[in-house]
C-alpha cells in the first residue's frame, strides 16, 4: 500500500498496492479508516488528556532535579547514558510498533480499541496522524511513560543527595529513554508532515537525529513488515539486515499458530 498524499511511497516489487476485491481507495475515505476513526471515544480522549498533563508535569519536576545533581565530571558518562537511552527508545518503539501491527486485533477487550485501533487506522490512512491534535498524537506515549516518570520522581524525593549524585548518569539514561519514548509519536507525525514543519524539525530529520520522512516511507509499503523503529530509525537497517522481525514472527507463529498481520490485512481489505 502506498501512502497517500505527497509522501507517497512507491511499492516494492511484489508488494500489494491495493487490497484484493477492488477496494482502491486509501486514506480518510477508506471504509475501514472511517470505521476506525469513529471508534475514538470521549473516554479515550479523557485518558489522553490526563496522561499528557501528568506526564509533562513529571518531566518538568524530574528535569529540574536532574540538573540539580549534574556534575561536570559526569559529562562523559552522561553523554554515553543519553546516547544509550536514545538507542533503547528506538528499539522499544520498533518492538511496540511491530507488536501492535503484527499481533492482536481491534476486537480485543480494552486494548483493542484503545491501543491497537490507531495502528490499524494509520496503515489505511497514513496522513490521518497529521490531522490529529497534540493530545491525540501524544496521549498514548505519555500514558506509557507515567510509571517510570513517577518512579523517578519518587527517587528524587526519597533518596539522599549523595546517592542521587552518584546515580546521575544512570538517571540521565533513563530520562533520555523516557523523553524519546514520550516524543516518539510526535516525531512519527512529523515524518508524515510535508508542509509547514518548523525549520529545526526539518534540520533534525535531515541529520537523522529524529525519524526522517523518506526513511519512514519504507515502512508504509504493504504488508508493513519492516522498518518498525519510529523514534530515530537508527536500528531499522541493522534489524532488517539480521531479519530480526521475521525471526521473531516465525518463532511466535510456530508457538501459537497465529498468522502475522492477519488483523491488519482484514482492515485493509474492508471496502464497505
In the complex with Zn ion, the residue whose CB is nearer, 51 or 127, is 127
In the complex with Zn ion, the residue whose CB is nearer, 48 or 264, is 264
The CB-nearest residue to Zn ion is: 101
| Cα–Cα dist 78/180, whole Å | 16
Task: Please choose, from the candidates 188, 214, 185, 190, the residue with its C-alpha nearest in 3D space to the C-alpha of residue 200.
Answer: 190
Stretch in the footprint of Zn ion (CB under 5 A) among 6-14, 66-74, 156-164, 222-230: 222-230
Stretch in the footprint of Zn ion (CB under 5 A) among 51-59, 102-110, 224-232, 259-267: 224-232
Stretch in the footprint of Zn ion (CB under 5 A) among 33-41, 69-77, 95-103, 172-180: 95-103
Q: Which helix (H) or strand (E) holds 138?
A: helix 134-158
| Cα–Cα dist 137/134, whole Å | 5
In the complex with Zn ion, the residue whose CB is nearer, 98 or 175, is 98
CB of 23 to Zn ion, least distance (A): 19
What's the start-to-end Cα distance of the chain, in Å?
A: 18
Q: Are 215 and 227 in contact (CB under 8 A)?
A: yes
Backbone angles phi, psi at 195, to 5 degrees: -135, 140
Stretch in the footprint of Zn ion (CB under 5 A) among 16-24, 173-181, 199-207, 218-226: 218-226
In the complex with Zn ion, the residue whose CB is nearer, 30 or 224, is 224
Residue with cell 533534525: 204
Binding pattern to Zn ion, positions 98-127, x when CB under 5 A? ---x--------------------------
Q: Are 118 and 267 in contact (CB under 8 A)?
A: no
# residues contacting Zn ion (CB under 5 A): 2
Q: State the cell numbers at 200.
A: 529545526
Radius of gyration of the chain from its Cα atoms, rounded to whole angstroms: 20
In the complex with Zn ion, the residue whose CB is nearer, 152 or 235, is 235
CB of 22 to Zn ion, least distance (A): 24
In 3-state terms, what secondary structure has residue 43?
Answer: helix
CB of 152 to Zn ion, least distance (A): 29
Residue ranges that bind Zn ion, judged by CB under 5 A: 101, 224
Amino acid at each position: 500500500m502506498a501512502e497517500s498524499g505527497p509522501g507517497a511511497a512507491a511499492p516494492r516489487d511484489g508488494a500489494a498496492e491495493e487490497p484484493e476485491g477492488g477496494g482502491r481507495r486509501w486514506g480518510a475515505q477508506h471504509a475501514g479508516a472511517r470505521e476506525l476513526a469513529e471508534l475514538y471515544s470521549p473516554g479515550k480522549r479523557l485518558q489522553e488528556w490526563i496522561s499528557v498533563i501528568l506526564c509533562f508535569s513529571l518531566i518538568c519536576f524530574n528535569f529540574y532535579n536532574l540538573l540539580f545533581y549534574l556534575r561536570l565530571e559526569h559529562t562523559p558518562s552522561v553523554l554515553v547514558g543519553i546516547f544509550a537511552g536514545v538507542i533503547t527508545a528506538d528499539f522499544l518503539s520498533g518492538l511496540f510498533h511491530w507488536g501492535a501491527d503484527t499481533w492482536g486485533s481491534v476486537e480485543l477487550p480494552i486494548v483493542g480499541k484503545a491501543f491497537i485501533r490507531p495502528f490499524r487506522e494509520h496503515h489505511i490512512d497514513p496522513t490521518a496522524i497529521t490531522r490529529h491534535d497534540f493530545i491525540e498524537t501524544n496521549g498514548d506515549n505519555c500514558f506509557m511513560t507515567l510509571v517510570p516518570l513517577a518512579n523517578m520522581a519518587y527517587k528524587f524525593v526519597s533518596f539522599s543527595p549523595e546517592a542521587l549524585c552518584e546515580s546521575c548518569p544512570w538517571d540521565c539514561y533513563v530520562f533520555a529513554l523516557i523523553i524519546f519514548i514520550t516524543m516518539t509519536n510526535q516525531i512519527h507525525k512529523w515524518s508524515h508532515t510535508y508542509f509547514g514543519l518548523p525549520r529545526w524539525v526539518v534540520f533534525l530529520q535531515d541529520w537523522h537525529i529524529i525519524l526522517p520522512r523518506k526513511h519512514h516511507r519504507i515502512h508504509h509499503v504493504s504488508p508493513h513488515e519492516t522498518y518498525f523503529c519510529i523514534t530515530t530509525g537508527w536500528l531499522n537497517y541493522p534489524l532488517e539486515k539480521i531479519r530480526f522481525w521475521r525471526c521473531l514472527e516465525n518463532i511466535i507463529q510456530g508457538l501459537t499458530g497465529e498468522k502475522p498481520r492477519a488483523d491488519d490485512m482484514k482492515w485493509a481489505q474492508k471496502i464497505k
